[in-house]
Structure formats: structure tokens, C-alpha cells
Amino acid sequence: MGIRIRDTRRWTKLVIVTFLLLIAGAAHQTCSAAARTEIEIPDIPGYRTLKCDFHIHTVFSDGAVWPTVRVEEAWREGLDAIALTDHIEYRPHKDVRPDGERPYEIAKQAAQGRGLILIKGAEITRNMPPGHINALFLKDVKLLDVNDWRDAIKAANDQNAFLFWNHPGWIEQAPNEIPVWYAEHTELFEKGWLQGIEVVNDSSYYPLVQKWAVEKNLTILGDSDVHDPIALSFDKEAGEHRPMTLVFAKDKTEQSIKEALFARRTAIYHKNFLIGKADFLKPIFEQSIRIINPNITIKGKGEMNLIVNNHSQIDFELVSGETSGEISVPRSVTLAAEKTVLLRIAVKKGTADGTKDIRIPYRVRNLLAEPDKGLDVELPVTVTFIATEAK
């Protein structure tokens, strides 16, 4: 994230992987072996759920790969949109001609050929405060290459760009990795020059920043800030994936993404967590879950399984509160990704009779509508109780 010494893990592997990715991403590629893995997070009513990464680097700043490789990586991973956001002020590769427009120009044809939305962006890279600010939907990156950071941010806003604060908890600019909101950020916020903030960057989640976003109504973002080839940063074989911003857009277009970002319709997919407003997390959960037998019958003091299918790729980790009424359910259960789970329902006490609509309360530990607090949901079921006489 930002200007830092990177753990390259093994330079030999880096060179090999970069070479292979360059071959895979070449515009003249004719091999049909490339395959895309879709990200199974459902749309919500009224909107498409687009998977995006708005903070990515290439060799045109301090990244390790060519722009077309970033396109190929994102397409194969199942993303819908990316922004190449190279540093304006920091370009350590002396043999690469500095030009903020080139990453986008080089990558746009490859993106179009894969149906991937490519957004022109850049990273305004300054000391704290204000730190690093990403600008998206730029028309002319060169206009941001000025000495004063206020002039750079104004130049982006004059282009109707969307601006967000990168990695507020980065150790190089935040003491003890605790984010600090400075007077300069208040200035930007009050001028309307700051619309969003990264709650997740790379492997870091900032609960305090999520709280700021709620208080100030800022758009939340989760991005990879990837510099090395993505395969060196996240181990797909171990089940890892880059963090990404989920954008709830009216359709799959750049303009719709921009409208959604300014309207604050985002959430974050990070590890096995979804982070965002309950207004978005709850419909994702509801659209992911299907109760196969919503009407069940229990005789006497018996029990019955509720059959629940989760067709998303997120394991929903449920913890139960006190269940009122006649039934008891497991205190905790995981609705495994792309699996069907049996949830045992038993008569709680005594005997019951008749048909009742019951909403089983659970808290989903890994859906964070508030910092470090799970989302409250309900599983609806209709239970017909048949009382049996004592012998």
C-alpha cells in the first residue's frame, strides 16, 4: 500500500509468474485456455452487484507488472471493473517513460475485449496529512501533477472525479496503525472534495474507519492496492482472494458505477466477511439463502430438519439468540458456501399444537453492518405442531 518496501517473497518466483502473466495478457493471445471464475455474490433487488477493485498499481509507478496483466488477472478472478491508479509523484522504474495516461491507454483494448470495465484513475501521493488520495473517472491525469496537494485534489474535483482516502491505517502514516482524522481531512470533507474512504486495504480492516464512514456518510471501499502479480499477493490455492468493493449499480456500465459510488451504494468483500450497511448486507444474505422445506411438521416433542441452501460463495456464520416460543435451534451453525445444510428444529418444552409462522433469529457474525458486530437476520419457517397424547 502506498510507497513502501515490498515483501517480494521470492524474486525467482516473481520473475517466472510475471513472465507467464505477460504471455497470458498479451493482446495477440490466441490460446483458448484462459478461463474466468465467477464470484458468486448475488444481485440485490433493483441493482446489480458488481465486483470491483479501485486501487491497483503497474510498472508505471511502483508495481511489478504491465497494465494488460492487471486486466487479465481481474477478468480471470471474476471482477467486473478495475481502476489502474498509479502514483503520480512516485515512479521508481527509471526505464519506464512517466506518463499518467499510458496505463489506461495500454490496457483499455484488452479490457474491452473481455467485457471488463476499465476506469481511468491515479493516486495522489503525499505525506500525512492528507496522505494518499485516489481519484477515479479522470479525464486528464496530467493536470493532477502539481506541487500543492490542494491544487492536485481540486484539479481532480474539477473533472468531477470520485476521490477517496487510501489506507488510513497504514503504519507509515498512522502511529501504531491507528487511523487519525486530521484537520486537513475535515477541510476536504467540508469542501465536498472527499467522497469515500478505504475501510479495507490489502489484508487490513480498519473498524474505526468504518465508524467514520457511517458518521460522515462516506462511501466505503475495499481494495487490493496490489503491486506484485496478484498470485504472489493472494494464494488462490489456499482459498485467498483480493479484497474488493461491491458496487450496487443500476447496470454494468462505467456511468452506473460512478453514480453508485457517489450515492454511497457499496459494500466490501474481504476474506470471508461482508462489510457495509445493513440495507445492502441483508438483501445479499436473503438472496443467497433458499429454504428448501419452508413448511415442516413436528409431532409431539419430536424434531425436524430445516433444509437450507446457500448458493453464494460466502460461509455465513450464524449465532443464535434466545429463541422464543415453542422451538429450539442450534446455538451456532455455518451455512457453508455453495452447500446445503440441515438445521435441527426441536420442540422446546411441553407440547404444542396448530400451525405457526416462526422467524428464527440469528446474528451473522461475518456480515459487519457495524464495526465488529454481526448482522441480525431471520429464517422464516411455518411449523405445524401435532400434539400427541400421553400414554
Do the strands 303-310 and 339-347 form a parallel or antiparallel pair, or are they unpaired? Answer: antiparallel
- Residue 280 domain-assigned? no
pTM of the entire predicted model: 0.89
pLDDT at 255: 98
- Residue 281 domain-assigned? no
- Residue 278 domain-assigned? no
Output 93 or 380, whichever has higher pLDDT. 380
Q: Where residue 254 sits, what CATH number does that domain have?
A: 3.20.20.140
Shared-domain flag, residues 27 and 93: yes
- What is the pLDDT averaged over residues 41-68? 96
Shared-domain flag, residues 185 and 257: yes
pLDDT at 11: 42
The 10s digit of each residue's pLDDT in 120-143 is 999 999 999 999 999 999 999 999
- Residue 276 domain-assigned? no
| Nearest CA-CA partner of 227 in 104, 57, 66, 72 | 57
- Residue 151 domain-assigned? yes
- Residue 284 domain-assigned? no
Shared-domain flag, residues 32 and 165: yes
Q: How many domains does the chain have?
A: 2
- Residue 142 domain-assigned? yes
**What cell was used for 310?**
446457500
pLDDT at 365: 97
318 three-state secondary structure: strand
The 10s digit of each residue's pLDDT in 308-349 is 999 999 999 999 866 657 788 999 999 999 999 999 999 887
Domain, as residue range, for 166 = 11-271
Which segments within 107-171 are labelled E, that is strand?
117-125, 132-136, 162-165
- Of 242, 271, 300, which residue constitutes the final position of a domain? 271
Shared-domain flag, residues 53 and 103: yes
Which residues are within 8 A (CB) of 106 and not within 5 positions of it... i.e. 6 or more apart? Answer: 66, 67, 68
The 10s digit of each residue's pLDDT in 11-22 is 444 444 444 445
**389 — pLDDT class (breaks 50, 70, 90):** low
**91 — pLDDT class (breaks 50, 70, 90):** confident
CA atoms within 13 A on the CB side of 145: 14
